Amino acid sequence: MQVDAQAAVHAAEEAFQSQEGTRMLAALQGCDRLLQAMPPEQVIPETKAPDAADPLAEERALLWLWRGRLLVIADQPDVVVKGLHSLDQAIARLSAAGDRAGAEEALAIAWMNRGSGLFRLGSRDALAEAVRSYDQAIVVLERIDGPRNTLGAAWMNRGVGLMHLDEAKEAPESVAARLADAAKSLERAIAVLQPLAATQQMAQRNLASTWANLGILRTRRQDAEGAAEAHRHAVQLFRPLAAEGDMPATFELAARLFNLGQACGAAGETEAALTAGRESLSLLATLPANDAQVAELGLRTRHALCVILGGLLAAGRAQAEDPDRAARLEEAGDLVEDGLASLRGRGELPEGIAAAGARLYEFGAWLYRTQQPRFLGEFLLDHLDEGNARTNIAAATVQVARQAMVQSDFSATLGGDMDRMLDLLQDLGEVESRLKARGVAV
Which has more confidence, 267 or 6? 267
Q: Is 40 left (phi over 0), alpha (psi -120 to 50) or beta?
A: beta
In 245-322, where does DSSP find H-type helix? 247-266, 270-284, 292-315
pLDDT in tens, 141-198: 999 988 999 999 999 999 999 999 988 788 999 999 999 999 999 999 999 999 999 9
Residues shown for the chain = 442
Asked if residues 217 and 163 have their Cβ atoms less than 8 Å apart, the reply is yes
User: What is the full DSSP assignment across 370-403?
Assistant: HT-GGGHHHHHHHT--SSHHHHHHHHHHHHHHHH
pLDDT in tens, 34-81: 999 888 888 888 888 887 788 888 899 999 999 999 999 999 999 999
* pLDDT bracket for residue 318 (50, 70, 90): very low
Domain ranges within the chain, ordered by starting residue: 1-146, 288-442
Q: What is residue 170's three-state secondary structure? A: coil
Average the pLDDT over 360-382 and give the result.
Answer: 92
Residues pairing with 43 in the sheet? 50
Of 103-117, 267-281, 336-350, the least confident: 336-350
**Given 3-state DSSP classes, what are the helix, strand and coil percentages for the chain, each rounded to the nearest 5?**
80, 0, 20
The dihedral through the CA atoms of 411, 412, 414, 419 has a sign that is negative
Enumerate the β-bridge partners of residue 65. none
Amino acid at position 313, single letter: L
Q: Do domains 1-146 and 288-442 have the same CATH topology?
A: no
For residue 414, the model assigns a pLDDT of 40
Calculate the alpha carbon distances from 42 to 60, 99, 240 in Å: 11, 19, 52
Q: In the CATH hierarchy, which fold is given to the domain comprising 288-442?
A: Methane Monooxygenase Hydroxylase; Chain G, domain 1 (1.20.58)
User: How many CA atoms, within 13 angstroms, populate the side-chain half-sphere of residue 146?
Assistant: 25
Domain 1-146 has CATH 1.25.40.10: yes
Phi, psi values for residue 343, rounded to 5°: -90, -10
Q: Which residues contact 4 (CB under 8 A, 6 or more apart)?
A: 34
pTM for the whole structure: 0.89
Q: Which residues contact 215 (CB under 8 A, 6 or more apart)?
A: 226, 227, 228, 229, 230, 231, 234, 259, 260, 263
DSSP-assigned beta bridge partners for residue 230: none
